[in-house]
Chains A and B, each alone.
Chain A
Amino acid sequence: MTREAVIESSADVVAVRRLVRSAAIEVGLSLIDQTKIITAASELVRNALVYAGRGELRVDVVENGAKRGLRLVVNDEGPGIPDIEQALTDGWTTGTGLGLGLGGSRRLVDEFDLLSKPGQGTTVTVTKWAR
């Protein structure tokens, strides 16, 4: 079942954490993997909120043979990221954060894909498979 959320405020970020938790439980992720994917979701939707002012999240249950997983797509129509490698570097920030959101999220999931172009927004897709 697909779930969707719009992120326009910091309360929406809290709501996303709740939504991703219930989807992660439904798909059978372990407690640690639930915690990891919720944390990644929190980082990615906060980025959409902070850097683009608004974003959207789509949550899908995905299957690969006998494996089930959770796929999150976080999308915004903000300024985009000029240098993706740099943005993924730990400690790199153009804001006031710790610069760990993107690099950290990539480590917390099994699959990570970042699409972004200046002026054309940013889409981050992450997947966590149940073990």
Chain B
Amino acid sequence: MDRVPILKLGDLLIVSIQVDLDDQSVLVLQEDLAAAVVSRGAKGVIIDISAVEIVDSFTGRMLATIAAMCRMLDAHAVVVGMRPAVAITLVELGLSLGGVRTALDLEKGVALLNHVGGTAR
């Protein structure tokens, strides 16, 4: 199993998925993130998937769940760096990730969170 590190930057949490995660690791990441949002009082979560080559319905559901969970914990989530081939495949799979905010890269994700969160850092 791979445990994905969660980095803290101000009141943001940053997760960068660098390996192809098995389903168990995906669930662990989801739980770790929920706990970290609360324990660190994070206002935003950035999930960087620029290194992720495929997102199937299991990983896609994790992204949607993390976004929903953040909303309930008074935080915002942004998924950054989705590859074009992944986006096309997700749409065809039937997962449009309507409730998930996205940005093209990490920098734009941070800018988006600063905007929607209205936080000063």
> For chain A, what secondary structure do more than half of its interface residues adopt (helix, strand, loop), or is it mixed?
helix
Chain B residues 65-94 with CB under 8 Å of chain A are 83-86, 88-89, 92-94
Q: State A10–B54 Cα separation when bound (angstroms).
A: 15
Verify if A46 is at the interface (C-beta below 8 Å from B): yes
Q: State A36–B54 Cα separation when bound (angstroms).
A: 8
Quick one: CB contact mask for A74-105 with B, threshold 8 Å, 1 for yes?
Answer: 00000000000000001000000110110111
Contact indicator B92/A101 (Cβ below 8 Å): no
Contact indicator B57/A107 (Cβ below 8 Å): no
Which among A13-21, A53-61, A62-70, A116-124 touches the partner chain?
A13-21
Residues of A within 8 A of B (CB): 9-11, 13-14, 17-18, 21, 31-32, 34-36, 38-39, 42-43, 46, 90, 97-98, 100-101, 103-105, 107-108
Residues of B within 8 A of A (CB): 20-24, 53-58, 60-61, 83-86, 88-89, 92-95
